[in-house]
Amino acid sequence: MAVMHIQEQRRESPSIGWLLSFAPHFYVLCITCHFSSINLAVQDDVLYSFYNKNITTWTDSEKQCRKDGGRLVTLDTERKWKFVKEEIQNLSNSAANEWFIGLKTGYRNRENWQWITGHQLTNPHWQNHQPSGDGQCAVIAKEYPPGTYGKYNDLSCLASKAFICESEVNTTTGKRIILK
Protein backbone atom coordinates (compact mmCIF):
# COMPACT_ATOMS: atom_id res chain seq x y z
CA MET A 1 0.00 0.00 0.00
CA ALA A 2 2.76 2.42 0.97
CA VAL A 3 4.66 1.60 -2.21
CA MET A 4 1.63 2.41 -4.38
CA HIS A 5 1.20 5.67 -2.53
CA ILE A 6 4.77 6.69 -3.39
CA GLN A 7 4.28 5.94 -7.08
CA GLU A 8 1.13 8.04 -7.19
CA GLN A 9 2.88 10.87 -5.45
CA ARG A 10 5.74 10.83 -7.95
CA ARG A 11 3.34 10.93 -10.90
CA GLU A 12 1.15 13.69 -9.59
CA SER A 13 3.52 16.08 -7.88
CA PRO A 14 7.21 16.67 -7.25
CA SER A 15 6.36 17.46 -3.62
CA ILE A 16 7.67 14.88 -1.21
CA GLY A 17 6.41 16.63 1.90
CA TRP A 18 4.44 13.69 3.14
CA LEU A 19 7.51 11.45 2.85
CA LEU A 20 9.59 13.85 4.89
CA SER A 21 6.90 13.97 7.53
CA PHE A 22 7.91 10.43 8.54
CA ALA A 23 11.36 11.65 9.58
CA PRO A 24 12.33 15.26 8.88
CA HIS A 25 16.03 14.72 8.47
CA PHE A 26 16.53 11.21 7.27
CA TYR A 27 14.61 8.44 5.61
CA VAL A 28 15.18 5.59 3.26
CA LEU A 29 12.41 4.16 1.14
CA CYS A 30 12.27 1.90 -1.81
CA ILE A 31 10.07 2.56 -4.82
CA THR A 32 9.41 -0.40 -7.04
CA CYS A 33 7.51 -0.18 -10.29
CA HIS A 34 7.42 -2.12 -13.54
CA PHE A 35 10.66 -0.86 -15.01
CA SER A 36 12.80 0.55 -12.25
CA SER A 37 13.71 0.29 -8.63
CA ILE A 38 14.72 3.52 -6.94
CA ASN A 39 15.91 3.92 -3.38
CA LEU A 40 15.66 7.35 -1.81
CA ALA A 41 17.64 8.84 1.05
CA VAL A 42 17.92 12.37 2.47
CA GLN A 43 20.77 14.06 4.28
CA ASP A 44 21.29 17.81 4.80
CA ASP A 45 18.47 18.83 2.44
CA VAL A 46 19.85 16.68 -0.37
CA LEU A 47 17.61 13.96 -1.77
CA TYR A 48 19.60 11.06 -3.20
CA SER A 49 17.90 8.79 -5.75
CA PHE A 50 19.60 5.47 -6.33
CA TYR A 51 18.55 4.09 -9.71
CA ASN A 52 19.45 0.44 -9.33
CA LYS A 53 17.64 -1.09 -12.29
CA ASN A 54 17.99 1.63 -14.93
CA ILE A 55 21.23 0.34 -16.42
CA THR A 56 22.35 2.88 -19.00
CA THR A 57 25.06 5.27 -20.24
CA TRP A 58 26.43 8.25 -18.33
CA THR A 59 24.64 10.69 -20.66
CA ASP A 60 21.28 8.97 -20.32
CA SER A 61 21.80 8.78 -16.55
CA GLU A 62 22.31 12.53 -16.43
CA LYS A 63 19.24 13.06 -18.63
CA GLN A 64 17.12 11.06 -16.19
CA CYS A 65 18.45 13.05 -13.24
CA ARG A 66 17.66 16.35 -15.03
CA LYS A 67 14.17 15.08 -15.79
CA ASP A 68 13.75 14.62 -12.04
CA GLY A 69 14.89 18.20 -11.39
CA GLY A 70 18.34 17.16 -10.20
CA ARG A 71 21.69 16.04 -11.55
CA LEU A 72 24.08 13.13 -11.21
CA VAL A 73 25.36 13.06 -7.66
CA THR A 74 28.33 15.23 -6.67
CA LEU A 75 30.32 13.83 -3.75
CA ASP A 76 32.34 16.97 -3.24
CA THR A 77 32.51 16.71 0.55
CA GLU A 78 33.65 13.85 2.76
CA ARG A 79 30.27 13.93 4.49
CA LYS A 80 28.39 13.34 1.21
CA TRP A 81 30.83 10.67 0.09
CA LYS A 82 30.57 8.78 3.38
CA PHE A 83 26.78 8.95 3.31
CA VAL A 84 26.49 7.58 -0.22
CA LYS A 85 29.22 5.01 0.36
CA GLU A 86 27.28 3.66 3.34
CA GLU A 87 23.90 3.78 1.56
CA ILE A 88 25.08 1.64 -1.35
CA GLN A 89 26.24 -1.06 1.04
CA ASN A 90 22.51 -1.84 1.44
CA LEU A 91 21.84 -1.85 -2.30
CA SER A 92 22.75 -3.94 -5.30
CA ASN A 93 22.52 -3.76 -9.07
CA SER A 94 23.23 -6.03 -12.01
CA ALA A 95 26.03 -3.80 -13.35
CA ALA A 96 28.80 -5.07 -11.06
CA ASN A 97 27.38 -3.02 -8.16
CA GLU A 98 28.70 0.19 -9.67
CA TRP A 99 26.78 3.44 -10.11
CA PHE A 100 27.61 6.40 -12.38
CA ILE A 101 28.27 9.62 -10.48
CA GLY A 102 28.55 13.22 -11.68
CA LEU A 103 32.31 13.06 -12.10
CA LYS A 104 33.90 13.50 -15.51
CA THR A 105 37.15 14.48 -17.11
CA GLY A 106 37.81 16.66 -20.11
CA TYR A 107 38.48 15.15 -23.52
CA ARG A 108 41.68 17.13 -23.98
CA ASN A 109 42.91 17.07 -20.41
CA ARG A 110 42.22 13.65 -19.02
CA GLU A 111 43.86 14.53 -15.72
CA ASN A 112 41.28 17.21 -15.02
CA TRP A 113 38.52 15.46 -13.09
CA GLN A 114 35.60 17.70 -12.24
CA TRP A 115 32.16 17.38 -10.72
CA ILE A 116 29.38 18.36 -13.11
CA THR A 117 28.90 21.50 -11.04
CA GLY A 118 32.30 22.60 -12.35
CA HIS A 119 34.04 22.03 -9.01
CA GLN A 120 37.40 20.29 -9.04
CA LEU A 121 37.71 16.82 -7.55
CA THR A 122 39.42 17.56 -4.24
CA ASN A 123 38.66 14.32 -2.36
CA PRO A 124 39.77 11.67 -4.86
CA HIS A 125 38.55 8.32 -3.58
CA TRP A 126 39.98 6.33 -6.48
CA GLN A 127 40.49 2.59 -6.35
CA ASN A 128 44.08 1.43 -6.49
CA HIS A 129 45.64 2.02 -9.92
CA GLN A 130 42.74 4.29 -10.96
CA PRO A 131 42.08 6.43 -12.86
CA SER A 132 43.60 4.16 -15.46
CA GLY A 133 42.73 6.37 -18.43
CA ASP A 134 40.21 4.01 -20.00
CA GLY A 135 37.33 6.46 -19.94
CA GLN A 136 36.12 9.95 -19.12
CA CYS A 137 33.31 9.08 -16.71
CA ALA A 138 33.43 7.69 -13.18
CA VAL A 139 31.51 5.14 -11.17
CA ILE A 140 31.39 4.51 -7.45
CA ALA A 141 31.71 0.84 -6.52
CA LYS A 142 29.90 -0.82 -3.64
CA GLU A 143 32.95 -2.90 -2.77
CA TYR A 144 35.97 -3.10 -5.03
CA PRO A 145 38.65 -4.27 -4.57
CA PRO A 146 37.28 -6.68 -1.93
CA GLY A 147 37.26 -5.00 1.47
CA THR A 148 37.35 -1.51 -0.08
CA TYR A 149 34.10 0.44 -0.11
CA GLY A 150 32.80 3.36 -2.17
CA LYS A 151 35.88 3.91 -4.32
CA TYR A 152 35.86 5.35 -7.84
CA ASN A 153 36.87 3.89 -11.20
CA ASP A 154 37.12 5.69 -14.53
CA LEU A 155 35.51 3.95 -17.49
CA SER A 156 33.78 4.62 -20.78
CA CYS A 157 30.84 7.01 -20.63
CA LEU A 158 29.11 4.52 -22.95
CA ALA A 159 29.35 1.73 -20.39
CA SER A 160 26.00 0.53 -19.03
CA LYS A 161 25.69 1.24 -15.32
CA ALA A 162 23.19 2.07 -12.61
CA PHE A 163 23.36 5.68 -11.38
CA ILE A 164 22.73 8.03 -8.48
CA CYS A 165 20.99 11.41 -8.76
CA GLU A 166 20.81 14.24 -6.27
CA SER A 167 18.32 17.06 -5.89
CA GLU A 168 17.68 19.59 -3.19
CA VAL A 169 14.74 19.51 -0.84
CA ASN A 170 13.52 21.95 1.74
CA THR A 171 13.02 19.71 4.75
CA THR A 172 10.75 22.31 6.36
CA THR A 173 8.29 22.59 3.50
CA GLY A 174 9.04 19.24 1.89
CA LYS A 175 9.29 20.93 -1.51
CA ARG A 176 11.85 19.78 -4.01
CA ILE A 177 14.06 22.59 -5.30
CA ILE A 178 14.72 22.33 -9.02
CA LEU A 179 18.44 22.65 -9.70
CA LYS A 180 19.61 24.88 -12.54
Residue among 98 and 166 whose Cβ is closer to Ca ion: 98
Near Ca ion in 116-175, by CB under 5 A? 130, 132, 134, 153-154
Cross-strand pairs, 105? 113
**Strand intervals (E) in the chain:** 28-32, 37-43, 46-56, 71-72, 98-105, 113-115, 137-141, 152-155, 161-169, 176-177
Minimum CB distance to Ca ion, residue 135 (Å)? 6
Residue among 54 and 130 whose Cβ is closer to Ca ion: 130
Minimum CB distance to Ca ion, residue 136 (Å)? 11
- Phi/psi for 13 (5° steps) reads -160, 145
Per DSSP bridges, beta strands 113-115 and 98-105 are antiparallel
Greatest Cα pair distance in the chain: 51
Minimum CB distance to Ca ion, residue 148 (Å)? 14
Minimum CB distance to Ca ion, residue 132 (Å)? 4
Instruction: Give the separation between CA 122 and CA 126, rounded to whole angstroms.
Output: 11
Near Ca ion in 27-66, by CB under 5 A? none
Minimum CB distance to Ca ion, residue 82 (Å)? 23
Residue among 78 and 134 whose Cβ is closer to Ca ion: 134
Residue among 159 and 165 whose Cβ is closer to Ca ion: 159
Residue whose Cβ sits closest to Ca ion: 132
Instruction: Give the separation between CA 9 and CA 47, rounded to whole angstroms.
Output: 15
Residues that contact Ca ion, how many (by CB under 5 A)? 5
Q: Give the footprint of Ca ion on this chain (CB under 5 A).
A: 130, 132, 134, 153-154
